[in-house]
Every structure is written in C-alpha cells, then in structure tokens.
C-alpha cells in the first residue's frame, strides 16, 4: 500500500540521482562550498529513506540504519582519495562494494516486501555522491539532457547488436519470439522505466565509472572488453537458480555495444539508449 512515508522516501531517494543527472555542472560546486568534514559526512543523510520506509512498516533495525548511514560515508571517503596515488585502488574498492551489494542483494533484507528497489537507488546515490559530486571523476558523461547524437549513437548500436543477439539467443534457446503488438503506451512505458531505473544506473556504474577508470590502466580496447565481461558476469544469477551462462554470454555481448555507445562521446545517455532499447525489445517480444 502506498503511504505518505513511501512517497517522501521515494522523493528523497530519487532527488540526488535526478539532480546529478539533469544539473551535472552544478553538483560539484555545491559540494565544494561545504566545510571539508561535512563533504564526507553529508551522504549519511541517505539513511533517511530507510528510516521512513522501515519505520512505517514496523521493521526498523538499528544495524540496517547504521549501514545505510555509514556505507555512503565510506564510499565518499574512498572516492575522495581515489587517484591520489595513481593506483585508483580506493575507487575500485568502492565500486566493488557497491556492485556486489546490488548484484548479490546483500542488503535487500532490510526492506519490507516489494520495496527492495530503494536499496538499489540508495546505493546508486552513494556512488553518485562519491564519484560525481565529491570526486568529480572526469569523463563520466552522466548527463541525461539527451542530445540528438546520444539517440542516434544509441540506436545505431542497437542495429549492430540485434542480429548478433538474435543469432545467439535463438540458437541457444534463450530468446523466444512473441509476435504481438502491446500498443504504443506499454512500449513507451516499458522503455522509460527501463531507461531510468535499469539502464542509466547500470550504464553509469559499468561505463561511466568502471570502463572509464579501466581505460587509464588497460587502454580503450581492453577496458571495453573487460567491462563487458564483468557486465555479463553480473547477470549470472538472473532468471535462474543456477549459473545462467546463456544470460551471461548475451549480456557480455551486449556490453560491448553499450560500451561502444558510451565511449563514442563519453555519454551515459547514449549507452543508456542502447541498453533501454535492447531490454525493452527483449521484454516485450523476445523473453
């Protein structure tokens, strides 16, 4: 049941994500005007959505509150110190913690049933604060004020990936064609939901942060391939109780084209267009 607490918590959780996405040139300046200690401590406020949602459901636990208050602070501290010694190990550590927490669903038990999406958004917010607002990592391309080039680049990669996906997916029995037309509204709704809540968070993590950082160490080609492989492995436990190697293979192949879309102009919006389009086509006609 949707409550006032849920609505307020949703606004608080989505606000950092949307502000950073649509006002990318300002968030760093806002953070720089804070006192140094407050810059690192401020993301503890990301625990407020947990307080509201869990409190309204009578499921509040102090240990979960401590986690959602402290983990964003730790991520901010790691991101702030990233790159200082040229090794970027702090940044990779922060990304590893955030990525594994989402993929392995470490913290979803903190939330009432059907509200676990708050966990993913809050961990995304923690990464955004650390890498976009505080660290101001160059070349991320997290700007959802889409340009024509984002759309054309994104859709071009869809065209290149589609025959590969069909050949692999149908040949492996992973894809199943459904000849139906759900209507324009369901198609648009599926695409928009996928774009904002699946494609953009994943593209920001894998391309804007991970592939971006790996390029400095591995070069463009290997950074693309390694990131695509890790993106594929992140799908090992999706839609199956065992290691879903078919999903891993298709996702890794898709990751190459998502990475190509991102690196053309270093724009998360471009790769998110590719990602959302591929996922929408799959969910509507090929699942």
Residue 287's pLDDT is 83
From 89, 76, 77, 279, select the one nearest 190 (Cα to Cα): 279
- CB-hemisphere CA count at 13 Å for 196? 13
Residue 18's pLDDT is 96
Q: What is the pTM of this model?
A: 0.93
d(CA 9, CA 3): 10
d(CA 250, CA 248): 6
d(CA 166, CA 186): 23
Residues of the chain with pLDDT under 70: 1, 82-87, 239, 241
H or E element that contains 156 = helix 148-172
Residue 5's pLDDT is 93
Task: Kindly state the greatest CA–CA separation across the chain.
Answer: 58
Residue 239's pLDDT is 66
d(CA 131, CA 138): 9
Collapsing DSSP to helix, strand or coil, 13 comes out as helix
The residue whose two tokens read 């995304």 is 124
Residue 40's pLDDT is 86
Residue 87's pLDDT is 54
């Amino acid at each position: 049941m949707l409550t006032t607490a849920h609505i307020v918590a949703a606004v608080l959780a989505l606000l950092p994500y949307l502000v950073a996405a649509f006002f990318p040139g300002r968030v760093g300046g806002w953070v720089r005007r804070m006192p140094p200690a407050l810059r690192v401590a401020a993301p503890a406020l990301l625990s407020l959505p947990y307080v509201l949602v869990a409190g309204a459901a009578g499921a509040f636990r102090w240990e979960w509150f401590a986690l959602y208050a402290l983990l964003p602070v730790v991520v901010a501290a790691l991101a702030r110190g990233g790159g200082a010694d040229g090794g970027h190990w702090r940044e990779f550590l922060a990304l590893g913690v955030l990525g594994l927490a989402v993929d392995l669903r470490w913290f979803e038990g903190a939330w009432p049933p059907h509200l676990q999406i708050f966990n993913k958004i809050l961990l995304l917010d923690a990464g955004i604060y650390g890498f976009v607002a505080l660290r101001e990592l160059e070349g991320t391309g997290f700007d959802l004020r889409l340009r024509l080039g984002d759309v054309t680049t994104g859709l071009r990669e869809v065209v290149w990936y589609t025959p590969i996906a069909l050949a692999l997916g149908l040949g492996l029995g992973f894809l199943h064609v459904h000849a139906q037309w759900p209507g324009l509204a369901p198609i648009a709704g599926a695409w928009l939901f996928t774009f904002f809540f699946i494609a953009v968070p994943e593209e920001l993590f894998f391309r804007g942060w991970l592939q971006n950082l790996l390029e400095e160490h591995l070069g463009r080609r290997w950074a693309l391939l390694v990131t695509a492989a890790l993106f594929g492995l992140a799908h090992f436990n999706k839609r199956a109780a065992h290691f879903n190697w078919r999903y891993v293979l298709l996702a890794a192949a898709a990751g190459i084209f998502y990475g190509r879309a991102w690196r053309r102009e270093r724009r998360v919006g471009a790769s998110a267009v590719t990602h959302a389009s591929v996922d929408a086509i799959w969910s509507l006609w090929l699942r």
